[in-house]
Structure 1
């Protein structure tokens, strides 16, 4: 059979020696039909051997929605956490015979509606929606336990635990939907820790511009002895800038990253960072999107990866 031709119900029927209707009843697991176990096994084996895939549109018309779940990820939210989240989401959906479609970038109402019209997805998930809509503490388990609020507090707490009570947050030079939320949650964490609210500055991507920005900020805020990067990319820019400025890390200034992209282990000094495993969060999102109970899934706590920069 040519690889380019789609395997049909007729092909499965011919291979298993039953009618097309019987194949349909078996593959759709129709409870109203009395079909012997042997016949069911024969049909399912033929479908597996031939690589039969149900026609998505026909299934969508039958079930009212396709077995596709769409994940929208806004620009500026990609990273190590999102990759682990996607792995968990995809794996859990597969257990329930659903597939994942990931859309990166800017999503307009029109483009989203085009997707809805084309595939009638079972669900549409917006990555980080709780934080983007201001419901920061409504994530699974509460934001202060295993959500972004807890992760921001962990980052700040590691600096303050090493005596850095005056801290700044280094932000990316590109728009991030989560920047304002992170600053707010970090300010809340500072209040809980009894330390001054961290100031913030932008760390440009271009090395010379970043060094200039870091120098200007530290000149205006000489009391700052610790810098928390919005993510590892930003923290690595700050490390490079401090080196160019002749500032010793961590003796003069401590730096901690966020999201553990892996590259921090290869710089000098190596970058201390916060690692957040999002796989269980992804699996929980899949179960909730499909209307299943969360069961015994519990996200692991975020952890500080201790290296040399703090």
Structure 2
């Protein structure tokens, strides 16, 4: 039989090996291994495309401290630190946040992007969070207040409102085929809140982050799923992360290894920012 001391020694050795593999995985690629890393080090700066998207990347307009905050910025700072270079934010727009990678105007586009099949054709992702959808209605609407799941909305007793041409339109039609659907013209609101307040609809869909802001602004609402104020929703979920131009496998592997090590801090920072919105 193998003695307990031997087993303990093997366990310790395995732990040390696992730690070593983890540490090695996050080691900065050696010179000559990644052209992108070599270029970044030579320039002395890590260029990152920035465009605010709460809670992952938030612009700090107070005039003190870093100009940006949030998990996307926290991760970019860690990359710059490990590379030994300065972090340089470069403003981008909704139209340019992906194309700037192919044109080599930035090294990373850290404006938070949802991973989609179309985007995966031109960029690689480093994922650290997700976007998702909630459904909300009035607290004094007995039908909705008594519903315990999103599934409960999928019946003819409910009227679900959506913006025609909006991001949630197709999802609403697929998710609630048995409900009455009410398409309305888009407005500056994040969801068809007027339909809910006027009682023309029982339910509407909204992005999980926008729900926090709406719930704070408009009293008398409630949402599903109920867990963690709808922040744990998996409805219409899509991974969120930063983007890198295709063809940089070594660079991407290192970026993902660092993100894996940083994941608990990134999640905590996202929770912190969402909490400030409540």
Shared fold, TM over 0.5: no
The normalised TM-score by structure 1 is: 0.40
Structure index of larger Rg: 1
Structure with a larger share of its residues in helix: 1
TM-score scaled to structure 2, two decimals? 0.43
Q: Which has the higher strand share?
A: 2
Higher relative contact order (CA 8 A, sep 6+): 2
